[in-house]
A and B are shown apart, each in its own frame.
Chain A
Amino acid sequence: EPEVTQTPSHQVTQMGQEVILRCVPISNHLYFYWYRQILGQKVEFLVSFYNNEISEKSEIFDDQFSVERPDGSNFTLKIRSTKLEDSAMYFCASSVLVGETQYFGPGTRLLVL
Chain B
Amino acid sequence: GESVGLHLPTLSVQEGDNSIINCAYSNSASDYFIWYKQESGKGPQFIIDIRSNMDKRQGQRVTVLLNKTVKHLSLQIAATQPGDSAVYFCAESSKSNFGNEKLTFGTGTRLTIIP
Contacts and interface: CB of A to CB of B under 8 A. Distances in A.
B45 interface: yes
Interface residues of A, number: 26
B101 A106 contact: no
A43 B100 contact: no
A98 interface: yes
Interface in A33-76: 33, 35, 41-45, 48, 50, 55-56, 58
A71 B94 CA distance: 30
B103 A45 contact: yes
Contacts of B36: 104
A6 to B, nearest CB: 8
A42 B103 contact: no
B75 to A, nearest CB: 15
Contacts of A2: none
Contacts of A104: 36, 43-46
A42 B100 contact: no
Nearest to A55: B98
Given A43-B89, A45-B103, A106 B43 contact: yes
Nearest to A100: B100
Q: Is the interface of B mostly helix, strand, loop or mixed?
A: strand
A104 B39 CA distance: 13
Given A31-B101, A45-B104, A55-B101, A99 B43 contact: no
Contact of A99 (B32, B44, B91): B32
Given A42-B108, A43-B89, A104-B36, A48 B101 contact: yes
Nearest to A44: B105
User: Chain A CB within 10 Å — which of B45, B89, B98 has the most?
Assistant: B98
Interface string B81-108: 0000000010101011011111111111
Contacts of B41: 106
B86 to A, nearest CB: 13
7 contacts: A42-B107, A56-B98, A91-B43, A99-B93, A99-B101, A101-B46, A101-B49
Interface of A: 4, 6, 31, 33, 35, 41-45, 48, 50, 55-56, 58, 91, 97-99, 101-107
